[in-house]
Structure 1
Amino acid sequence: MSSTTAPASAVPATELVPAHVVEDLQGIVQLLSDGTVKRFQLPQVLPPPPVRWKDVVYDETHNLSLRVFVPPLAGAEKLPVIVYFHGGGFVINSFASTEFHAACLRLAGELPAVVLSVDYRLAPEHRLPAAHDDADAFFSWLRAQAAATTDLWLAESADFGRVFVSGDSAGGNIAHHAIVRIGSGALATGAARVAGCILLYPFFGGEQRTASEAAGSNDIYLTLPVSDQMWRLALPAGASRDHPLANPFGPDSPALDSVALPPLLVVAGTRDLLVDRIKDFVARLNATGKKRAEFVEFPGKGHAFFSVEHDGEVTGEMIRDVLRPFVHGGAAAPAS
């Protein structure tokens, strides 16, 4: 196991008392009293790829990359593009984490689709809105590729007329805010046409607890203390969980009634700590006018099941019976 350290803020190193841990996120990320952040990284073992993949820098300023996954073409027709933002509460993981790499390999091969798995800066070194700003930088890169593709893999395989913005957990949060900015005209995509949005158990928050949060649910991947800790580390200093980037229907959040959103598919498990918050998000979104979002619920599944159980039967069922019809045409089938 290796570790890295980085200053979270410009705090003078003049303290006589040794720095101590003030936040410890499951032994993976530690925030010290002097502002230093320690990250402990497990060695990554990548499974053999069933599809081609490579890394491409999309933002040289912040040295940010994305991972391109391209399955074999079945015919002459190009494939839809899945933009994927990984989960991790804005604090942990990356596009190169083993589970996200494996999940995107499966997603690309079984949909099939060109998958662009996008990395972004993490908190607490880079608190929100850094991750959302990085999403904007990615769409600037995507817009340039759609206008004049310089990447040979994308020129060969990607249909920029069918782009689906997606992500799981924190990545679902990023995907939601990206399509809101696109739909309101604040973020341009040019020739890259957003045909839909896929939110896998999006990581939203709020000061008022939902029933599933208050009960603690029986989610084995996300607990209420961990969720609260991630928001403390990710949100701007002093912000509450009703911040617009956490709570899309919070007291200071912009109205979505007039925003031109693409069709949305929202997925969650019945054991997810956030399931009631996600259901409320879908209901409120659909209450703004015409029905904008389809909700699919998987019995017995908790938060993060797509990445953690990337090789499982339920993930295969979700790709085959829910995501594939949504991406390739037709309504998403309910989970059985």
Structure 2
Amino acid sequence: MEWRIYWVGGARRRAPPRTPIDLVSSSAKSGSGDAAPPPHVVEDFFGVIQLLSDGSVVRADDAALLAMPELQDVPGVQWKDAVYDATHGLRVRVFKLAAAAAGDDGGKLPVLVYFHGGGYCIGALDQSPFHTFCLRAADELPAVVLSVQYRLAPEHRLPTAIDDGAAFFSWLRGAGSADPWLAESAELARTFISGVSAGANLAHHVAVRVASGRQPVVDDVDPVVRVAGYVLLDAFFGGVERTAAEANPPADVSLLTVEMADQFWRLALPAGATRDHPVANPFGPESPSLEAVALPPALVVASGGDVLYDRVVGYAARLKEMGKAVELVEFEGAQHGFSVIQPWSPETSEVIQVLKRFVHKAIRPAEG
């Protein structure tokens, strides 16, 4: 039998699926009129996430929401998991070529840090769509790919996931850089931050933290990690005011609707926050200016059939207005998250090629 996980007061418990959750106190069962009424569902995301009125969360397996083919390894690519945050049990999945291809630094390869999607509420690094994309990237860029786990909302509301992404870079700069696979194959001075959907939103915020000095990953004496660029694939941004694509969404939207995006933000943002919160809307009324932030070059991929298309294109336009180095690539008619939903499609193959050109044309930073 499969089990659902629910949280009450921070404790992790199990309950069988499709069974009413009995959270009624013993006094209520005995007929006492003093007992509070049992909690009720205030948010229900397709039965996969149920947020109750007392703050507890009921979860089911989210694999049914995405096409989840079996994991198919790519010949010549090895992978393994490592723990980067033992306190919270957070892992990173490391992908590398079995025999490292000749890179630009004595056989070492650039590093692609990757954050999975899922509206900050679902998804996992070991799910086949994200795993497969990382396999392809490791093989075809080629690069050492680091797929990073982070804590999900609503159990852990934002900015928890961003804090986890920043903590990963602290680990990478320290213990992670000593991992035998990375020490042998990874040129950490050419590290790229990337992600899809919510993972792209996360990549933006981690890149800003690094570029603004709030997340020190570079030591003036020993420059272990340098971020050479960042890559946003169908970034999950939001805002209170509707864009044209949100007000009149494409007729064939399949993966992410406006209603689903709104619900993800309600579940993920701090309680009571609007979609103009700085995490959702990097150019919102309360968002700090990026004018003075020395962002690395950005590659922004937008899908023409995505309800978030205007937000992604607008993000690239705002960066360009500020004089930032940004490359925008559009895929007409493509759906949100196509790079993982259709990991072997011709469009995804083109994304890999675009990413390869971006990574290998990046100017290597001068040695500190």
Task: Say whether 1:329 aligns with 2:349.
Answer: no
TM-score in terms of structure 1 length: 0.92
Alignment of 1:48-87 (within 5 A): 48-50=73-75, 51-71=77-97, 72-75=99-102, 76-87=106-117
1:150 deviation in Å? 2.2
Match of 2:56 in 1: 36
State how far apart, in whole Å, the 1-side matches of 2:270 and 2:204 are.
19
Match of 1:119 in 2: 149
Task: Say if 1:169 and 1:201, in contact at 8 Å, map to a contact too.
Answer: yes
Task: Say if 2:113 and 2:193, in contact at 8 Å, map to a contact too.
Answer: yes
Match of 1:253 in 2: 287
Alignment of 1:98-247 (within 5 A): 98-145=128-175, 149-190=177-218, 191-218=224-251, 219-247=253-281
Alignment of 1:3-42 (within 5 A): 3-7=4-8, 14=25, 16-41=36-61, 42=63
SS of 1:82's equivalent? Answer: strand
1:280 deviation in Å? 1.1
Within the candidate set 249, 253, 262, 2:296 is matched to 262
1:127 alignment partner AA:
R
Alignment of 1:303-318 (within 5 A): 303-318=336-351
SS of 1:128's equivalent? Answer: coil
Task: Say if 1:266 and 1:295, in contact at 8 Å, map to a contact too.
Answer: yes
1:2 deviation in Å? 4.1
Residues 98/250 of structure 1: CA separation in 2 closer, same or farther (3 Å cut): same
SS of 2:312's equivalent? Answer: helix
Residues 9/21 of structure 1: CA separation in 2 closer, same or farther (3 Å cut): same
Within the candidate set 333, 340, 349, 1:300 is matched to 333
2:349 alignment partner AA:
G
Task: Say if 1:8 and 1:126, in contact at 8 Å, map to a contact too.
Answer: no
Match of 2:18 in 1: none
SS of 1:213's equivalent? Answer: helix
CA displacement 1:46-68 (0-9 Å, x = unmatched): 22343110111001111111100
2:334 alignment partner AA:
K
Bigger mean CA offset, 237-246 vs 210-219: 210-219
Task: Say if 1:9 and 1:35, in contact at 8 Å, map to a contact too.
Answer: no
Structure label with greater radius of gyration: 2
SS of 2:60's equivalent? Answer: strand
1:37 alignment partner AA:
V
1:211 deviation in Å? 0.4
SS of 2:174's equivalent? Answer: helix
Bigger mean CA offset, 20-29 vs 81-90: 20-29
State how far apart, in whole Å, the 1-side matches of 2:271 and 2:338 are.
30
State how far apart, in whole Å, the 1-side matches of 2:148 and 2:196 are.
12
State how far apart, in whole Å, the 1-side matches of 2:46 and 2:144 are.
33
CA displacement 1:83-131 (0-9 Å, x = unmatched): 0011100000111112111111111111111000000000000000100
Task: Say if 2:295 and 2:324, in contact at 8 Å, map to a contact too.
Answer: no
Stretches of structure 2 that go unaligned for 5 or more consecutive residues are 12-22, 26-34, 219-223, 364-368
Aligned length: 326
CA displacement 1:302-334 (0-9 Å, x = unmatched): 1111111112121111102x1111011169xxx
Match of 1:286 in 2: 320
Task: Say whether 1:276 aligns with 2:310.
Answer: yes
State how far apart, in whole Å, the 1-side matches of 2:240 and 2:349 are.
35
2:8 alignment partner AA:
P
SS of 1:256's equivalent? Answer: coil
1:27 deviation in Å? 2.5
Residues 9/206 of structure 1: CA separation in 2 closer, same or farther (3 Å cut): farther
Task: Say if 1:263 and 1:293, in contact at 8 Å, map to a contact too.
Answer: yes
SS of 1:230's equivalent? Answer: helix
SS of 1:116's equivalent? Answer: strand
1:22 deviation in Å? 2.1
Task: Say if 1:13 and 1:34, in contact at 8 Å, map to a contact too.
Answer: no
Match of 1:334 in 2: none
State how far apart, in whole Å, the 1-side matches of 2:292 and 2:24 are.
49
TM-score in terms of structure 2 length: 0.84
Task: Say if 2:229 and 2:362, in contact at 8 Å, map to a contact too.
Answer: no
1:9 deviation in Å? 5.9
State how far apart, in whole Å, the 2-side matches of 1:83 and 1:104 are.
10
Match of 2:72 in 1: 47
2:230 alignment partner AA:
C
State how far apart, in whole Å, the 2-side matches of 1:40 and 1:110 are.
35
State how far apart, in whole Å, the 1-side matches of 2:289 and 2:255 are.
32
